[in-house]
Structure 1
Amino acid sequence: MKFVKRVITIIILIVIVLNAKNIAKCFYPLKYSSYIKEYSQRYDLDPYMVMAIIRTESGFKENVRSNKNAIGLMQITPDTAQWAAQKMKIDNFNEDMLDDPEFNIKMGCWYINDLKSEFNNNMNLVLAAYNGGRGNVKKWLSNLNHSYDGKNLDYIPFKETDKYVKKVKVSYKVYKYLY
């Protein structure tokens, strides 16, 4: 009887190991992949990074609002969206447009690309700015307590932003591994 239980346990473990990637894909989905691919390509972004950001921001829930009023998949605030819409030359922008997954991904990718330009493609800075604000990142870079060289962040004083950057980077690695 003990032998049979051990054999069954070993078989179950083998099945789990062989299906680990498929199980993990349930937690790291490829939703909206056509939009992500299109706008990642248009704005010169790694699509796995965009997926990691969406997973971290909204868990791929399209009609979600944060307690800070950030909207949609990529959790864009109305103020940022208004500014981005002007820069993107989008006429008749209104906040409801952020509930549309394609529009939200398009604007989010544009915004990430804008941050990439500002922060010399340094994705740690881009992620910190996406979450904590570009103005804060600039202040942190000019403070020796946060940046030893003025080009990289050695310490992020906002715990939420520090956790966010780490979480997105882990999700990014998982997406790259799985897909």
Structure 2
Amino acid sequence: MIDKEIFKLCKKFGSEYDVDPYLIFGIIKTESAGNEYADSGYARGLMQMSRIALKDIQKDLLHKYKYSDLFKPEINVEVGTIFLKKMITYWKKKYDENYLSISLAILSYAWGITNSIKWLKSVADNSQIDESIPEKKKYYNENVMFWMSFARERFNA
């Protein structure tokens, strides 16, 4: 899918669920590079939604989507945005600081909220902070921020 079409979906669902469309775009580009048919074996589509995440947000959806529906860009971005909103809401209740709550929401989107909570509780000193995060997830937030910045420049924020 081309970036312009992806960003239209980001704007649509960002507005509908009160999530920054640039953040949604950043996650899409980090997760799937904009490939609507991306399939890791564990997750699929633009926002790389898993069966577990889909099941987790089914109660929040008006429609009951199947896992096979996640290759459809509009459905995938809606499901992914609702899931991301859950992560943001959780961390904003815990930490009022916007940057901290958004950063932890992004990490939780990639690594899971349970892993993120355990990480915050288990680290005892500076030497353990990045040692505790899997290599594949260490630069996830930076990648998302890069793509958010890219989108702001490209789509005239």
TM normalised by structure 2 equals 0.82
1:94-145 deviation digits (Å, cap 9, x = unpaired): 1111111100000111111110000115111011101111000111121243
1:33 aligns to 2:12 (yes or no): no
> Percent identity among equivalent residues?
23
1:90 aligns to 2:69 (yes or no): no
Question: 1 or 2 for the larger relative contact order (CA 8 Å, sep ≥6)?
Answer: 2
- For the 8 Å contact 1:128–1:165, the answer to whether it is kept is yes
Q: Which amino acid aligns with 1:60?
A: G
- For the 8 Å contact 2:37–2:45, the answer to whether it is kept is yes
Q: 1:57 aligns with which of 23, 26, 31?
A: 31
Q: Which runs of 5 or more structure 1 residues have no equivalent in the other structure?
A: 1-27, 148-153
RMSD, aligned CA: 2.0
1:40-95 deviation digits (Å, cap 9, x = unpaired): 0111111111111111111111112014x21100000112112211333533x311
Q: Which runs of 5 or more structure 2 residues have no equivalent in the other structure?
A: 93-97
Shift of 1:29: 2.6
1:3-39 deviation digits (Å, cap 9, x = unpaired): xxxxxxxxxxxxxxxxxxxxxxxxx932333321110
Q: How does 1:90-129 map to 2 (within 5 A)?
A: 90-91=63-64, 93-120=65-92, 121=98, 122-129=101-108
When residues 102 and 137 of structure 1 are mapped into structure 2, their CA distance, relative to the original with a 3 A threshold, is: same
Q: 2:43 aligns with which of 48, 70, 73?
A: 70
TM normalised by structure 1 equals 0.72
When residues 37 and 136 of structure 1 are mapped into structure 2, their CA distance, relative to the original with a 3 A threshold, is: same
Give the equivalent residue in structure 1 for 2:95: none
Larger helix percent = 2
Larger Rg: 1
Aligned counterparts of 2:145 and 2:7: Cα–Cα separation in 1: 19
